Chain A
Amino acid sequence: MSHQWIGKPVARPDAFGKVTGETRYMSDLKLPGMLWGKILRSPYAHALIKSINTAKAKEVEGVHAVVTHEDVPGLNAYGAIVQDQPVFCKDKVRFIGDFVAGVAAETKEIADKALELIEVEYELLPGVFDVEEGAKEEAPKVHEEGNIHLITKVEKGDLGEAFKNADVVVEKVYQTARQMHAYLETESGVAFFDDKENLHMLCGSQYSHRDQLQLSRILDMPQEKIMVTSNPVGGAFGGKDDLTIQGQLSILALKSKRPVKIVYSREESVLVSGKKHPMKIYMKTGATKDGLLIANEVKIYADTGAYANLGRSILNVAVENCCSAYRMPNLKVEGLCIYTNNMISNPMRGFGANQSNFAMETQMDIIAREIGMDVMEIRLKNGVRQGDEGALGHTLTSAMGTIQTLEAVKNSELWIDKDKYKNTPTKPWKKRGIGLATAIKGVGYGRGLPDYAACDMTVLENGNIRVAVGCPEIGQGNSIAYGQIAAEALGFPVERIDVVTGHSHATPDSRTSTASRSIYAGGNAIILAAEKMKKQLSEFSAGINSSKAEYLLEEMVDQALKHKKEFSVHGHFEVPIPDKGIPGAYGLPHLVYSATTHLALVEVDMHTGLVELIKSVCALDAGKVINIQGLEGQSEGGTVMGMGYALLEDIELNEGKTDTLNFNKYLIPTSLDVPVIETIPVEVTETTGPFGAKGVAEGVCIPISPAITNAIHDAIGARLESIPATLERVQDALKINH
């Protein structure tokens, strides 16, 4: 089917304001009488609070509010799933950087001075810093109810019997890094109460309506009196899913009765913001000599840090992806999400899939080499197809693109000419290798969680059509995709569609911009609204002039305006879920999956251990492509972020402390590190998706990491079981190997 707008590289309407500097991000806002907010933080990883004395701080001239837990009118706790994080700590602090008190003052300098005058008496407690130690009964308790936030167990088939029949069994322990989102705009926002005592919260986030709900609990205020604006956002990548600063900011605005602004310094952001869950993964995998996978035994420890955030869902996505994109007749997986006194972990692009996929895709590479099978063929042999039983035991009923993405990579120039590429290193002391990996990633939340989106569609007085969908524009480009979907569904020019996103009142609740879901869920809601709009407009036009058989939508809009008739419709879409859940695994499985296969060419300096990604191929099945530029942008950005995960990025902690606090020590890829990236869209259209689309944002940063470490092995014959593959780790691997 040919489309007028779908699949085209339509330029983003928000780009104009971003290239001229006109766009005002939350960190750019300035209001009359605005104060600066600052937070007093715990210097200890685990301690009891014996007393807090704010008297001296309150006396400083220019200070308008000094707040603690005593100033929280409602629930002094937040969290997207379980509310276990205090807005301001009362009895106890649980990580270095935990929130103890806040100050609102006329300048940042005055606020800093007041912070220094707040006296807090602590009694130190022993801490939990190792995830496996934390899981033990005798470990110090981070929370009263114990350190095990969630255990998920899935068992299928007969593991013992299967391992007996296996010709090859590979058993390894993997460790993944504490990767930082490194959005360029730190946590920032402005809050104020208007003369009707409504709270206005302007703060970059990924779900306006959940922020509104959480703030209503904290402030003990009705939700409708809380107006949340979530975009524009200077990057999020999952890190702005749960509340960041909104709770503390709202209390400062409440007490000072003035607009208050908080902008985290980078150091503060690094210390306090959540990171990708570091996971320790034990994996034992069995296969036949023909390369058929028959058994996998997996144990996953996820370090969620001091508070849960979305840790339990993230653990379960790690469980869901522990066999990557392969059939697995016999499986035993146990996942543990553990509280520690380390910095908080939270959602980050991939949502737990990156970690377990890294482990399984490394196992695949080892198995292939042990039985002497081609790394592509073993994946094609075991890769899931529509109708197969997925690893967790559910039937994969939706369109699965794993085989198609593998085939696309197999037909790529880099794969076909891999020997030529490998044999031409740039220096005699460098070695090259090729690595392959694949992944699937569920679109949406999965079974058991409410998952929906809605669209309010209105004909405006200027003849444009407004399309309002809740999912915030966090930079990913859902707003232009929404414009294209609406234009196509209505048969109306895309430049006359005004897209609004990310506002608790101006847009209907559509849940989050996360989980690669904003196109799938929001797009479907738009199509439902467009059908209603077309029906209403054509009935109206037929009523005016029944002799004319058919009108263009533009003509109908003109007539509606001429007759001063208002048109406003609502579309609501419920994301479909699988019929059956996975016993013992909350939120699993998903119905719709995107698929990605990455191929990586690396070059390793045998003297220094430096690894460079030279070239990569990303074949992805995101279903029907809505905006090709946006899709490539996701593929390129995702590939580079996954490269950072494999090669560079980690925040190392020593008893909860780090000296990696800014981009001088936390290195992310620069323009000079970026490989040649070939993106191959494989459009396995999903019948339930808008025009056949699924989702793209997370899959593109998952298999690239094991593709890189597999390529390192191909180059040097040594295996990286912990990432990132730092110089030290690669040097150690070289020593062990030689």
Chain B
Amino acid sequence: MKVKLRVNNELIERDVDPSIRLLDFLRETLDLTGTKEGCGAGECGACTVLIDGKAVNSCLVLVGQCEDKEIITVEGLAKGKTLDPLQDAFVKEGAVQCGYCTPGMIMSAKALLLKNSNPTEMEIKKAISGNLCRCTGYVKIVKAIQTAVENSKEV
């Protein structure tokens, strides 16, 4: 079946089995491996992408459900070498250790900031509560998101 969707601002039309997971479509078909798989059950958030601006676990969505949808993955955030304020803050605040949860974490934070440009600490914690991180204890991740919020205000 032919599916048509936008991925990182690019129109994609592919003849694929509509019952494959969006996660596999991104990773295997489009080779966008920034989106990770950690549990395959919607529990860890490593595969989080934006679908029409909302954070979604791409392991729980079939590509056939994404017809005409707008998908943004972690690869779609930086403009060339210029990082998104979230990415930049994650680097500078030391919010990255092994880095495997990082793309999903950033995408959940991105979805939050798209609908709320000035979130409280609790709103940030809630927004990333579906994203597991085993390295950092989340402290520097929350701080990085706060820094990105501050830096976005200054621009």
Contact = CB atoms under 8 A, between A and B. Distances in A.
Interface of A: 9, 11-12, 14-25, 27-28, 30, 181-186, 232-237, 263, 265-266, 474-477, 629-630, 632-633, 635-641, 662-664, 668-672, 674, 677
Q: Chain B CB within 10 Å — which of A475, A664, A677 has the most? A: A475
Nearest to A182: B134
B87 to A, nearest CB: 4
Given A182-B134, A184-B133, A477 B139 contact: no
Contact of B135 (A27, A235, A632): A235
Interface string B2-43: 000000000000000000000000010001111111111101
B134 A237 contact: yes
B78 interface: yes
B134 A670 contact: no
Interface in B63-92: 73-75, 77-78, 83, 87, 90-92
B96 interface: yes
A21 B38 contact: no
Contacts of A186: 38
B98 A20 contact: no
Nearest to A627: B94
B56 interface: no
A266 B41 contact: yes
Contact of B134 (A23, A641, A674): A641
B100 A185 contact: yes
Contact of A637 (B130, B132, B134): B134
B113 to A, nearest CB: 15
A671 B36 CA distance: 19
Contacts of A668: 132, 134
A271 to B, nearest CB: 14
B55 interface: no
Nearest to A637: B137
A672 to B, nearest CB: 5
Given A184-B44, A637-B137, A11 B39 contact: no
Given A235-B135, A632-B94, A671-B142, A20 B129 contact: no
Contact of A185 (B36, B126, B128, B130): B36
A640 B137 contact: yes
Contacts, number: 176
A636 B137 contact: yes
Given A15-B91, A674-B139, A235 B129 contact: no
B35 to A, nearest CB: 7
Q: Chain A CB within 10 Å — which of B74, B93, B136, B137 has the most? A: B137
10 A-B pairs with the lowest CB-CB distances in the bound complex, closest first? A21-B34, A475-B98, A18-B99, A234-B100, A636-B137, A629-B94, A640-B137, A663-B43, A28-B33, A21-B74
Nearest to B130: A670
Nearest to B42: A664
A235 B100 contact: yes
Nearest to A644: B134
A475 B49 CA distance: 23
B56 to A, nearest CB: 17
- Interface size classification for chain B: 35 or more
Contacts of A12: 91, 94, 96
Interface of A: prevailing SS? loop
A344 B35 CA distance: 30
B134 A11 contact: no
Contact of A664 (B41, B96, B138): B41
B102 interface: yes
A610 to B, nearest CB: 17
Nearest to A185: B100
A266 B34 CA distance: 18
Contacts of B136: 633, 636-637
B134 A184 contact: yes
B41 A662 contact: yes
A475 B135 CA distance: 8
B111 interface: no
B141 A234 contact: no
Contacts of A11: 91-92, 94
B106 interface: yes
Contacts of A265: 40
A21 B75 contact: yes
B101 interface: yes
A671 B35 contact: no
B90 A19 contact: yes
Nearest to A9: B94
Contacts of A641: 134, 137
A638 B43 CA distance: 22
B151 interface: no
A181 B135 CA distance: 10
Contacts of B98: 183-185, 232-236, 474-475
Contacts of A474: 98
Nearest to B41: A662
B75 A20 contact: yes
B96 A19 contact: yes
